[in-house]
Structure 1
Amino acid sequence: MSRTVYLNGDYLPETEARVSIFDRGFLMADGVYEVTSVLDGKLIDFDGHAVRLERSLRELDMDSPVTRDELLAIHRELVARNGITDGMIYLQITRGAPDDRDFVFPDPETTPPTIVLFTQNKPGLADNPAARVGIKVIGIEDQRWGRRDIKTVQLLYPSLGKMMAKKAGADDAWMIEDGMVTEGTSNNAYIVKGGKIITRALSNDILHGITRAAVLRFAREAQMEVEERSFSIDEARAADEAFITSASTFVMPVVELDGQPVGNGQPGPVAARLREIYLDESRKAAI
């Protein structure tokens, strides 16, 4: 069944949505994106995603074609039109489609941004079986550009990283720079040692995860100790637990790193408790 998508002010069947070959998102990855989870037909952490979207646009000197209220209305309309109970909404804004290819930014007065949203139906999103057994991760060199805090559509290297993991018989990869873990291919990375949750501090080096912010807030409210600092891949191998967070996986235990078990090789109690708290609290706050 064809989905209804949103493109530049119109709701269309996905088979009828068209974007110019000169769109700068297509030619130059000149665009930003967000992915918002839907649970029980409601949006999870929408305000956080909206705020980060606005920041990403500012950092790239791009205008938003819609207000935050309009964006919320579009999300809700797509959920309704596509009958989404559990799933995701993908949003992308690019610098638009000028008359021809050029490295110089087009005049925003004559080249408005392109905005696209579509849904992904994922029944049982919160009941992912992987959360009960954990995932396997490998370490790879971080070869991305220096502004990882901007959620751009430049996703080639993360895609390559996921393929490296797949070829190694793993589920995902953690990227390493100067011996220190930055983040996963599409998620933030954590270890647990002696009951303490350790994750890299915010900077231009990592994405400022919306799920990350919520999980750390819930952890502190639950009297868990949190330390925001860099950690090495060797420290991760010696950790009691490890996990990742993202809008699509929520809190996901990591049980193996580079072929070696993390801790006892089973999902740990800290990750399990954080996943439970996150899902409970996020459902309460969903809109």
Structure 2
Amino acid sequence: MIAKEKEAEILRLYHGEKWPVGTIAGQLGLHHTTVQRVLGQAGVDPKVVAPRPSMVDPFVPFIVEQLGKYPSLRSSRLFVMLKERGYPGGPDHLRRVICRLRPKKPAEAFQRLRTLPGEQAQVDWAHFGKLAIGRARRPLWAFVMVLSQQIEQPEHIQRLVDEKRRAREHRGLDRLARAARSSQAFLRVIAERGGNVGSAIARLLQMLDAVGAAELEEALVEVLERDTIHVGAVRQVIDRRRSERCLPPPVSIPVTRGQHANVVVTPHSLATYDALKKDSTL
């Protein structure tokens, strides 16, 4: 809708000044159909100016035929072909005409998929190594299915996190079982006594990386024989055995490169403190 003053101005310019529809629309900032509507409501049938003939008109059937056969044919190639057939114009105007006449790609139809809650699901399937069960080794697989439009509850998310954590523990447990067979008995006792099995597995894996499978297995056997079932005891046994063999501690200590870079620090014996304790009792 436009103001009544604007409609009166349109009628004045059309009847009084004899302006055509296009000039009125351009000067008043309106669309030409708006001007035609206002004139039509006033009982005026504005004359539609017929488009001027173009030098491209005689060649339009040829352009349409070529574009029908070769829809992606370039405008530059069509310009050369039309020049050979007598087209007198330039390429710019011809390019606009070809753009208007070039067949559009047919619209591709898509069907929106709508499913009821629980009617569709996404499945994830993964392998997490093998799990030692007694003397048998069983493959460990994870199967997760999420239903469409499923509302994630906090309890469900927490359960999924716990299951993934247990899967990581089983993966570490499987590695320990391959490297040190006594670790299974060690972890079983920890679980029976209410210890943190996950923390024990993580610390045993760190020792495995530091000292190797053989030393870890020997330490576990000694700890089981003494019935001192905790990770700290395993670490003490490893440190004592390495000290007896004059080996460096298993924990790598970064040292600045220089004259002390290759110095091996060996823990001193505690026998001196035992002797001092005996002297103090005399």
Specify which structure has the bigger relative contact order, considering alpha-carbon pairs within 8 angstroms and separated by 6 or more residues. 1
Q: TM-score scaled by structure 2? A: 0.19
With the length of structure 1 as denominator, give the TM-score of the two structures: 0.18
Larger strand proportion, structure 1 or 2? 1
